[in-house]
Structures are given as C-alpha cells and as structure tokens.
Amino acid sequence: MEQIIHKAANLVPTERQFKWQQMELTAFLHFGINTFTDKEWGDGSEDPQLFNPSELNAEQCVKTCKDAGFKLVILTAKHHDGFCLWPSKYTEHSVKNSPWKNGKGDVVKEVANACKKYDVHFGIYLSPWDRNSKLYGTDAYNDYFVNQLTELLTQYGKVDEVWFDGANGEGPNKKKQVYDFARWYKLIRSLQSQAVISIMGPDVRWVGTETGRGRETEWSVISADVQSQEKIAAASQNDVVFKPKSDVRGEDLGGREKIKDAKALVWYPAETDVSIRPGWFFHEKENEKVKTPSQLNDIYFSSVGRNGVLLLNIPPNKKGLIQTEDSLHLFRWSEMRNNTFKSNLAKLASIKISKGKNAHSLVDGNYKSYWTTSSPKDTSAEIIFTFPQPQTFDVLLLQENIMVGQRIEKFGAEYWNGVKWISFAEGTTVGYKRLLRFPTVTCKKVRLIILASRLNPTISEIGFYKQASGQ
C-alpha cells in the first residue's frame, strides 16, 4: 500500500492535461442537421437541403462564450447522423449539399476563425458512430474516419481538444463498428500533439453523468484499468443506443482501496459535461427551460469546484446564433462568479503555519508558487488566518499544486468563536480546485486543518469569499 500510494502521490499531469485543467470552463456547441429536424439523434437519412442557418454568426457564438469566461469551444463537426459541418471530400452528407451559402460554406472554418479572433481555444467533436456512412461496420470505416479526422486536424489551425463520444450503435447496414482507437490517437498526436483526447481517449475522462455534478471525492490519479478502451466503452455508452439514463459516477475512483491492487496508475482527470438546456441540440420548445444563472452557479461549484473541468453545452439556434435567453443567463451567471471571486479575504489576514514555509504563496494568486510541509512524511498541518477585523464569508477555495501531485485526502475548516473552534466545512480530495459553500461565517480567526495526505500536501492557493447576492 505504502509503495503504491507513494507512486500515486508523485504522478503528475502531462503538459497538455495541465493546460486543459487550467482552462476550467469549456463550451460545447451542438449544432448540425438535428438543429433543423428538431431531433437529438438523427438517423443519417436527413436531406442536407434542410441545413440552412439563415444568419449563422460564429463570432457571435464564440464571443458569447468568451464573454462568459469560457476558454475553449468544442464544435460538433459531425454528430451520430454523419452530417458534416465542413465540406468533407469523403461524403455527400455535408454542408456542401445544403442551400447554406450555396453549398460553399464551412461551419468548422467559421468557428475556428472566430476562436482565433477572440483568442479562445478550439476543439472538435467527431462522432465515431456514424449512422449515414455505408462503410460503417467494416474495416474501411476506420479509413474513412481517419480521412475525416485528418481533414479536421490539418485544415483549421490549432486544435486543443478532440472529443470522442462513447455512443456506439448500429450503422445503416445493422453492423457495429470495431473502432481503431490506436490509429486515431497516433494520428492526433502526430498532427496536433498539444490536443487532449477526451472521453474515448487517454487524456480526459468522462465524469460519469451528464448532470454537471462531479464527485465529492475526485482523484485525478486512478488505476490504468479505467483508462482501457473497453472499460471506457463499458462505463460509458457502448451498448447504449439512447442517452445514458443513469448516473455511473460511483463514489470514488482513486481512493486507497481502489488503487491498492492497480498494476499501473495514470493521470486521468474528469470532465463534467452538461447542457444549458434539457437537450444537447437547440429546440425552440426548450427556450423556457434554459438553466437559470443560479443553477449554472450550482453546476460551477459541483464541477470546477470538485476538481473537474466544466464542459457546458450552449447550442446555437436555427439561425446559427446563441439564443438570447441562453446568453442572458450565461452573463448573469458570469457576473455572479466575478463578483464572488473578486477579492480574496484571506489576503487581509496574517497567516500562521504549523509546518513548512512560504505562507505568503497561499494567497499570492500565483498557482505555481505553493506551500508544503517540511518533509514527505509530514502529512498533516494546520494553517491559521487571523483577520484584523471580523470577516464574513461563505465560500472556501483550495488548490493543490498538481504539478507536484494530487495528495490531500482529508481536510477540515474551523473558525474561532472566542471560546472554541467550530467546524464549518470538511472534505476529502482537493486537486486542481476545490470549492465549498457553507452557511455564512463571521469571525476573526479561521483555520484549515489537513488531516490526511499522500506524502507532504501542497497548497497553491487558499481563498475565503462571500457569495455575491442573487445566489
């Protein structure tokens, strides 16, 4: 046990995983033939003539995401219906046979260019499951898929995330496909080495639910078994021809008991996906059901605040624009976030650490600088903050330095009521970011206690905040 924990504690993300984790907020644009047929899953028999976004404005879509704080936008270049949003050379089922821009348009290009203009990272979703291709279910489909992937990875500049869906049903010939994942990964690594490969991929793991809620205990280091394609497929949607109905998150994937017999360990962090609407694609009838700013805020706390990256879907409407309701809710939520995290009250305090040095790095706003205890054997500590005046807060922020490793297993937070310490928050893992909300505390003295850690714990940042009103 001790040996494996030692290994787990020293595992760190790759550069591409680290960059991805730091983005925190990523957006999905589900857009395609389904937008025009009012469906969630097309069957591949749609007439491309239906695709006609009268006012498509990729800049409006990307800028809306950017203004709301998103750092990366993933476009569904091809969903399960096989309809391509770019004029692929390898199929007729694409924008080139649509009336939009007389068949001369390219949505992928417009979104990629808008991302460049607004300095937002760009990602692609390419559905392995293709209900239109006649080749589906044969070896030739893997070539077809590689050809499409090559187009997407060579014609549009930098791609930072490639998202492979787990849904895998039958194609038009009633056959299922055996995907050549190894070949796809090799291609991506050779053409766009900085891109993370997500979900049916080795770099980023599906959290296990489409509700936007991550686990309270979220380890980014887990057994390599979980990363095997078969396991991913089984855990996600291999045999599911409908949306995953259940929540398959489970309690904890990387705790001591979970990894003690692991043959190998991997850094495999969680992505928490959810749509701003009930469906993934735009449906007029769901305009009243756009998640409210406060629901989005709850999602933020339970995704980014639980050591995950949030992937929020904001589907453009039939015109090819983000609907007003969606933009409004996004902006109000982003305002809430900005107001809440505007100033860190911990900066006002004098800090006393029971062990180690660099107390100032806990509040310097620099993720790279961090505090740790004096030796790897030192796995507990206490950090006391004393404010010159009583302060009121209801949010605690903690960040470990994951470039050293993810280590904290148990922590608590207490305030001094003049007589004794009163507990107001506790948790297990921290990881890249942990946010906890609790009933308002007003005090002059507050302490963080690290109760258990795999080797010496690190903390890059600690914050105490008061939530902005309206939450």
Residues that bind ligand FUL (CB under 6 A): 40, 165-167, 237, 243, 273, 280
| Count of CB atoms situated within 10 Å of the CB of 471 | 17
Shortest distance in whole angstroms from residue 80 CB to ligand FUL: 6
Quote the CA–CA distance of 128 and 136 in Å, as a whole number. 10
Altogether, the residues listed in the chain come to a count of 471
Instruction: Give CB contacts under 8 A, 24+ apart, made by 227-231.
Output: 227/202, 227/266, 227/268, 229/179, 229/181, 229/200
Quote the CA–CA distance of 150 and 192 in Å, as a whole number. 10
Give the nearer residue to ligand FUL in terms of CB position, either 68 or 199.
Answer: 199
Give the nearer residue to ligand FUL in terms of CB position, either 165 or 400.
Answer: 165
Q: What 3-state class would DSSP assign to 242?
A: coil
Shortest distance in whole angstroms from residue 163 CB to ligand FUL: 8
Quote the CA–CA distance of 433 and 198 in Å, as a whole number. 20
Shortest distance in whole angstroms from residue 167 CB to ligand FUL: 4
Shortest distance in whole angstroms from residue 326 CB to ligand FUL: 17
Give the nearer residue to ligand FUL in terms of CB position, either 158 or 243.
Answer: 243
Contacts with 111 (C-beta within 8 Å, 6 or more apart), sequence order: 29, 58, 61, 62, 73, 75, 122
Contacts with 178 (C-beta within 8 Å, 6 or more apart), sequence order: none
Shortest distance in whole angstroms from residue 166 CB to ligand FUL: 6
Q: What are phi and psi of 254, to 5 degrees?
A: -130, 15
Give the nearer residue to ligand FUL in terms of CB position, either 122 or 281.
Answer: 281
Quote the CA–CA distance of 81 and 130 in Å, as a whole number. 6
| Count of CB atoms situated within 10 Å of the CB of 59 | 15
Shortest distance in whole angstroms from residue 311 CB to ligand FUL: 8
Residue pair 270/13 in contact (Cβ under 8 Å)? The answer is no
Give the nearer residue to ligand FUL in terms of CB position, either 243 or 260.
Answer: 243
Give the nearer residue to ligand FUL in terms of CB position, either 165 or 218.
Answer: 165
Quote the CA–CA distance of 364 and 367 in Å, as a whole number. 8
252 burial type by CB count under 10 A (0-12 exposed, 13-18 middle, 19+ buried): middle
Give the nearer residue to ligand FUL in terms of CB position, either 280 or 393.
Answer: 280
Give the nearer residue to ligand FUL in terms of CB position, either 115 or 167.
Answer: 167
Shortest distance in whole angstroms from residue 40 CB to ligand FUL: 6
Q: Which residue number is nearest to ligand FUL in terms of Cβ?
A: 167
Q: What 3-state class would DSSP assign to 279?
A: coil
Shortest distance in whole angstroms from residue 211 CB to ligand FUL: 12
